[in-house]
A and B are shown apart, each in its own frame.
Chain A
Amino acid sequence: MPAKLSLPTRTCASRTGLTSKITSSKLSLNSRQSAFTADQPANSSVPLDGINEGHFMTRPATILQSCILSSASISAGIWMVAMNPPLAETRPVASIPPADLIQPADLAASLESSSLPKPLILQVGFRTMYDQSHIPGSDYAGPGNMPTGLQVLRDRVAALPKDTVIVIYCGCCPWSSCPNIVAAYDTLHGLGFTKVKVLYIANNFGRDWVDKGYPATKDQGLRTETGR
């Protein structure tokens, strides 16, 4: 019978707010639009060399060229989408049951306690943030907004018993805007994990964890399995 870890929680439903819906617009395949040079307004109309009306009707070679270019652009677009398919729209962060949230102060207290077994802590946000600072002993298993990130999460927990206490956190953005946490939470539940807690980070990891003086590290040493 595994020892149970009871992590204290406080409800904070009133503070969670509603997630703003982000609807992704369709990917433009106009390969000529050089967005990141920043010199060209989004809606500017750029004549396409050699494909304006006059040339289009009179130069078969140009037609062939433009067909090849278009096919290449479409293929590139399909490849990009195939390699990185968008996730289905996720539920609002506010829909996570308050009983499954844990406050930073409570998690920090449980980490400092020598008598309680430690939960498995997973950062499901972004690598650049994890590399700068994370909760000691936590592993990187994200990002939750990408299929590849969720696969990292699945792989990380694949061998664990379903009653493992897992705390997931992100803190990339204000709570209601977090693109990672719900997908990671749902994935773990979908895998059958019954003791998943979500660290409630109202603003971001810097302000709500590091600035509060809770333990943080850059160290990426191996950790031993705990969480039961």
Chain B
Amino acid sequence: MNKSLCWITTAAILMLLCGATTAVKVGDVAPDFARADLAGRQVHLADYRGKLVLLNFWATWCAPCRKEMPLFSKWQRDYGARGLQIVGVSMDDDITSVKQLLVQRPVQYLIVMGDAKLGEQFGGVLGLPLSFLIDAQGRIVARYQGESDLAVMEAKLKELLPHH
């Protein structure tokens, strides 16, 4: 018992020293988190169990991210009633620039502020944009890194949404 505890502790220390992050994979349950939205309300990822969640890491300085935003707004409008919830996690260093951008370019989905710790929970957000599709059971079903083919992403989420 003590020996295994010792191994676990050693492994954890080594991981911390190496800066390693445990990469979340497709098929894993998405790590839960609680973050405040821009109005200060707490948003828990787990609150959206039962919905298909598109978790999108983005930032105001990321040109490809800004390109995705109008389409994500459209998807939220078109598929929200069928159970889609888009959650944008801003990786900006400060909230002011996020608020400024969203005044100019409002979006139709939830925005929360992220940080390095949240990035690490998702295996390290070391390039943007980065999106995860999370199913109704909270499992990651797809991961999209970088400039993705949004038609492919939309086809995937349509396939996962319940058909009326």
For B92, the chain A residues whose CB sits under 8 A away are 126, 128
A182 nearest CB across to chain B (Å): 13
Known: A36-B39, A37-B39, A129-B91. A80 touches B124 (CB 8 A): no
**Do B126 and A38 touch across chains, with their CB atoms under 8 A apart?**
no
Within 8 A of B (CB), among A122-172: 126-129, 131-133, 143, 145, 171-172
- Is there a chain B Cβ closer than 8 Å to A2's Cβ? no
Beta-carbon contacts of A17-48 to B below 8 Å, as 1s and 0s?
00010100101101001011111111000000
For A98, the chain B residues whose CB sits under 8 A away are none
How far does the alpha carbon of A37 sit from the alpha carbon of B38 in the complex, in Å?
Answer: 8
A139 nearest CB across to chain B (Å): 15
Beta-carbon contacts of B100-112 to A below 8 Å, as 1s and 0s?
1011111111110
Which one of A58-66, A113-121, A191-199, A201-209 contacts B? A201-209
**Do A27 and B104 touch across chains, with their CB atoms under 8 A apart?**
yes
Which one of A5-13, A49-57, A99-107, A211-219 contacts B? A211-219
Known: A28-B104, A41-B108, A132-B120. A36 touches B38 (CB 8 A): yes
**Do A36 and B119 touch across chains, with their CB atoms under 8 A apart?**
no
- Is there a chain B Cβ closer than 8 Å to A179's Cβ? yes
**Do B19 and A216 touch across chains, with their CB atoms under 8 A apart?**
yes
**Do A143 and B19 touch across chains, with their CB atoms under 8 A apart?**
no
- Is there a chain A Cβ closer than 8 Å to B96's Cβ? yes
**Do B63 and A173 touch across chains, with their CB atoms under 8 A apart?**
yes
Within 8 A of A (CB), among B1-49: 16-19, 21, 37-39
B22 nearest CB across to chain A (Å): 13
Within 8 A of A (CB), among B82-119: 91-93, 96-100, 102-111, 114-116, 119
A89 nearest CB across to chain B (Å): 13
For A39, the chain B residues whose CB sits under 8 A away are 108
**Do A172 and B62 touch across chains, with their CB atoms under 8 A apart?**
yes
How far does the alpha carbon of A38 sit from the alpha carbon of B102 in the complex, in Å?
Answer: 9
Beta-carbon contacts of B127-162 to A below 8 Å, as 1s and 0s?
110000000000000000111000000000000000
How far does the alpha carbon of A205 sit from the alpha carbon of B128 in the complex, in Å?
Answer: 10
Question: Which partner residue on chain A sits nearest B67 by CB separation?
Answer: A20
**Do B126 and A206 touch across chains, with their CB atoms under 8 A apart?**
yes
Known: A126-B59, A203-B146. A36 touches B127 (CB 8 A): no
Beta-carbon contacts of A60-92 to B below 8 Å, as 1s and 0s?
000000000000000000001000100000000
For A22, the chain B residues whose CB sits under 8 A away are 63, 66
How far does the alpha carbon of A165 sit from the alpha carbon of B105 in the complex, in Å?
Answer: 41
How far does the alpha carbon of A126 sit from the alpha carbon of B147 in the complex, in Å?
Answer: 19
Q: Which 5 A-B pairs have the closest CB atoms?
A: A204-B127, A206-B126, A131-B116, A35-B106, A218-B19
Q: B residues near A, CB below 8 A? A: 16-19, 21, 37-39, 59, 61-64, 66, 73, 76, 91-93, 96-100, 102-111, 114-116, 119-120, 124-128, 145-147
Report 13 cross-chain contacts, Cβ distance below 8 Å, ordered by A residue: A33-B103, A35-B102, A35-B103, A128-B116, A129-B116, A131-B116, A132-B124, A143-B93, A171-B126, A203-B127, A204-B145, A205-B126, A209-B126
